[in-house]
Structure 1
Amino acid sequence: MTEPLDPDPSKHADRIVWIAVGATAAVVFIAAMLGPFRIEWISFWKPALVAVLLMLMSWFYATVRKDAALAGALIGAAQLIAFAAVAAPLSYVAASAAFPLWDGELAALDRRLGFDWMSWLDAMNAVPLLHRTLALAYASFAVQTTAIVVVLAAAGHTLRLRVFMLSFVLTTLLTIGVSTLMPAQGVWGHLHLSSINSPAIVPVTRDLPLPVFFGLRDGTFRHLVAEGADGIISFPSLHAALGLLFLLALWPVRYVGRIAALLNVAMIAATPVDGSHYFCDVVAGLAIALLSWIAVQRALARATGERMRPSGPVESAAALVHVPK
C-alpha cells in the first residue's frame, strides 16, 4: 500500500519548520534550566512580538482577506524571525562544549588545497574598492533573508519558499552541530592578525566575536541572547552556506534570479576575509547547503507526487525532482 500524498505540502512544510523552532527553543531552555546559562529574556521580546504579529496577519490574509501570496510571505517571515531568535543561543550552548580547536587542521587543509588566505587579504588591501564591493554583498545577509520570502511569495513560488525555509533550518542546525564537534576561532584569531595586516580595509568580522567565543568555552560568558547575538561559528561557514541557498531560492525568478546570483557569488567570495573564515570553511558550508537543498526538495517533491522540469542550476545539472510552484 502506498502512502497517501499530502494534500497541502506547504502546510506540512510549515509544521516541520515550527516543530524545529519549538525543539530548538526547548533545547535552549533546558540548557538554561539545568546548566549555568542565563537567558536574557529582554533580548527575545522584540523577535517574539514581531513573529506573533506576523502570524496573526498571515492568519488574517489566509482566512479573511484570502491573499495566499501575502499570507505565505508573512508566515515565512515569522518563521525566519522565530528560528533565528532560538538558533543564535543554541550556537552559544554548542560552543560551550569546548571541544579542542581545529584551527591548525583547517589551516593545514587550506594549504593542501592550494588556498593562500593571506594572499587573498593582500589582494583586498591592494584593491580597496573590490573589498568594499564584496563587503557590501557580505552585509546584505539580513536584507536578503527577508527579501527572499517576499519575492518568492509575490512571484507565486509557494513551495519553493518552503524548500528555502526548510533548507535554511536544516543547514543552520547541521552547521551548529558540526561546529560543536569541530570548533575554530577563525583565521583572524589563529594568525593573531591586527589592523596592521589590513591597512587599507576594515573587514567586517575580524576578531570581534572572539571574546564571546572564548568566554563560552572557558565559562566566563553564560548569557543566552537572541537580538544582538554574535556569529561565533567558523567551521562550516554559515554565511557561505546561506549565500548558496539565497542563490538557489531566487534563481527561477525572472530578472531577480541573475541579480541574486551575482550578489551571492560576491558574498561567498567575501566570506574568507570579511567573515574570518578558512577557505575550507566556505567549501564545507556550500556542501552542507547543497545537500540540504537537494534533500528538502526531493522530500517535498515526493509529498506532491509530481515530477517537474528543472528550474535552477543545481536541478538542471543533477536532473533533480523539482517542486512545483
Structure 2
Amino acid sequence: MTLTVTNKPLYLAMGAVFVLNMVLFAATRAVLDLSTIWDVLLFTLTFGAFFFVFARLSDKGFGGLAGRAFYSGRYFCEAMFFTTLISLNIPALNHLTMTIPFPYQDELLNAGDVALGLDWLAYFEWVHASPTVIAVMEWSYNKLSLVGLAVMALLILTQETRRVLFHMEIFFYTVIICVLIGAAFPALAAVDMYIEDIAAYTNFPNAPGVYHLPWMEMLRDPAQSPLINPVSAPGLVTFPSYHTASGILLCITAWRTWMFWPVALYSAIMIASSPIFGGHYFVDLIAGTAIALAVSAAVLRLRRYEGMFAPRRAASGKGALPQTA
C-alpha cells in the first residue's frame, strides 16, 4: 500500500527552502548552531512517524469512533509535523537573507506612513498611556503561534480538514514571500526611528519593538560569523508585517465557521499591537494584509479547495481527503 499524500507540491516547496538554506550557509559567513536543535528535530520526526501511521490507518477505511480517531490523528500529526518543519527552515532563511547588505529602508517606509497621514508616534503615545491596553496587546502579539495551533486543532476536531490543509498552504507561501521581500527592505523599524529613549516609557514592562536590533547588527557586520539557531532566532522582517498577514490568514481560514468572530477579534487586537510590539510602520501592516489576501485568493483557485467557503447548505469543508492538484 502507498500513503496518500494530500499536497506533494507543498512538501517539495519545503524541500526547496531547505536546499536554499544549505546553499546560503555555504555561501555566507553564517554558521548553523546545532546546540539546541536536537529536541525540535526529535519532535519533528516523532510527529512525522505518527502522521505516517495514522495516515495508513485512516486509508484502511475504518468506520465509527476508530475511523474518526485515525482521521483526526492523521491531520493533527501532519499539521504539527509541517509546523515544526516551518519552525526549523523559515527562521534560518529569514536570518540568512538578512546577511545580504541591502540598505535600510526606514526613511522610505516612514515616508509611506506620512503620505497616508498616519501618525505612528501619536499611536505609540496612546498605547503607552494605558497599562491595560499594553497588557492586552502584548499578550496578543506573543500568543500568535499558540492561537494558530488552537485553531488548527479545533478545525481537526470538527472534521474541517480541508481548511487545515488550506491554512498550512497559505501560511507557508505567505511567510516565504514576506521573508524574501523583507530581506530586500530591511529596517531598524519604527520604534528605533521615533523613540530616542525607550526606557523613558515606563508603562511598558518590556521594551517593545527593539528586540531585533542586536540580531540585525550581528548579521550585517562583515567582521562576524553569526551563529544561526532556528529554535531561538526571532523574526526580523519589518516590511511586510507577517504578524498582520497571519491574523488575516486565520480569519480567512475560519470564515463561515463558529470560530470566525473569536478569531477575528483576536486578530484585530494582535494586528493593532504590531506597530508597537513589532515596531512596524503602518505601511508594513498594509503590505502584510495585501500579501495574505493575494496568496489566499491564488490558493483558493486550486481544485482541491473548490467550494470550501460556500454556504453550508451548498458545500462543506469536511469529509474525504482532498484531491491533489
TM-score tier by shorter-chain length is 0.7 to 0.9
| Residues 133-163 of structure 1, C-alpha deviations (whole Å, 9 max, x = no match) | 1221111112012212211211111111111
Task: Provide the residue aligned with 2:236 in structure 1.
Answer: 232
- Relative to 1, partners in 2 of residues 1:204 and 1:52: Cα closer, same or farther, differing over 3 Å? farther
Secondary structure of the corresponding residue to residue 35 of structure 2: helix
Q: Residues 76 and 123 of structure 1: is their aligned pair in 2 closer, same or farther, counting only changes over 3 Å?
A: same
Partner of 1:279: 282
- Number of the residue aligned with 1:178: 181
CA distance in 1, matches of 2:284, 2:307: 34
CA distance in 2, matches of 1:323, 1:175: 31
Once residues 297 and 203 of structure 1 are traced to their aligned partners in structure 2, the CA distance between those partners, rounded to angstroms, is 40
Which residue of the partner structure matches residue 132 of structure 1?
Answer: 135
Structure 2 SS opposite 1:114: coil
CA contact under 8 A between 1:245 and 1:293: conserved in structure 2? yes
Answer yes or no: is 1:249 the counterpart of 2:253. Answer: yes
Equivalent residues of 1:47, 1:82 under 8 A apart: no
C-alpha spacing 1:311/1:85, structure 2 compared with 1 (3 Å): farther
Matches of 1:163 and 1:204, distance apart in 2: 36
Distance 1:132 1:58, change over 3 A: same
Asked if residue 29 in structure 1 is aligned to residue 22 in structure 2, the reply is yes
Kept in 1, the 8 Å contact 2:256–2:309? The answer is: no
- Residue by residue over 1:168-198, the C-alpha shift from the partner in whole angstroms, topping out at 9 and shown as x without a partner, is 1110000011111111111122235333452
Q: Deviations over 1:56-111 (max 9, x none)?
A: 11222222365112210111111011112111010111111111111001111101
Match of 1:294 among 294, 297, 304: 297
154-163 vs 36-45, which moves further: 36-45
Q: Do the aligned partners of residues 20 and 148 (structure 1) sit closer, same or farther apart at CA in structure 2, a change above 3 Å counting?
A: farther
Segments of 5+ residues of structure 1 without an aligned counterpart are: 1-7, 313-321
State the match for 1:269 in structure 2.
Answer: 272
8 A Cα contact 1:135 1:204, kept in partner: no
Match of 1:310, as an amino acid?
A: A
CA contact (8 A) 2:104 2:185 kept: yes
Partner amino acid, structure 2, of 1:63: R
Partner of 1:5: none
The separation in 2 between residues aligned to 1:182 and 1:131, in whole angstroms, is 28
Partner in structure 2 of residue 310 of structure 1 = 310
Change (3 A) 1:203 1:20: farther
Cα pair distance change 1:309/1:216, threshold 3 Å: closer
Q: Which region of structure 1 is more displaced relative to structure 2, 118-127 or 15-24? A: 15-24
Q: Which of 208, 212, 220 lines up with 2:211 in the alignment?
A: 208
User: What CA distance in whole angstroms lies between the structure 2 residues aligned with 1:22 and 1:115?
Assistant: 41
**TM-score (ref. length: structure 2):** 0.87
Q: Could you tell me the TM-score, scaled by structure 1's length?
A: 0.87
Task: Report whether the alignment pairs 1:11 with 2:5.
Answer: yes
Match of 1:69 in 2: 72
Q: Assess, with a 3 A threshold, how the Cα gap between structure 1 residues 264 and 309 changes in structure 2: closer, same or farther.
A: closer
Quickly say closer, same or farther: Cα 1:30–1:104, change in 2 above 3 A: same
Residue 284 (structure 1) shift? 0.5
1:218 equivalent in alignment to 2:211: no
Contact 2:97 2:183 in 1 (8 A): yes
CA 110–152 in structure 1, closer or farther in 2 if over 3 Å, else same: same
Task: Tell me what 2:321 maps to.
Answer: none
Deviation, structure 1 residue 251: 3.1
User: Match for residue 123 of structure 1?
Assistant: 126
Aligned position for 1:84: 87
Q: Name the % identity.
A: 22
Partner residue of 2:36?
43
- Asked whether the 8 Å contact 1:244–1:264 carries over to 2, the reply is yes
Conserved? CA contact 1:85–1:226, under 8 Å: yes
Superimposed CA distance per residue, residues 240-263 of structure 1 (whole angstroms, 9 cap, x where no aligned partner): 111111222223332x32111111
Q: How far did 1:203 drift? A: 5.4
Aligned partners of 1:62, 1:298: CA distance in 2, in Å?
Answer: 26
Distance 1:282 1:84 in 2: 22
AA of the residue aligned to 2:248: L
Provide the C-alpha distance between the structure 2 equivalents of 1:27 and 1:178, rounded to a whole number of angstroms: 16
Tell me the CA shift for residue 199 of structure 1: 2.2
Aligned residue-pair number: 304
Which residue number in structure 2 is paired with residue 146 of structure 1? 149
In angstroms, what is the RMSD of aligned CA positions? 2.3
Aligned amino acid, residue 177 of structure 2:
L
* Equivalent residue, structure 1, for 2:62: none
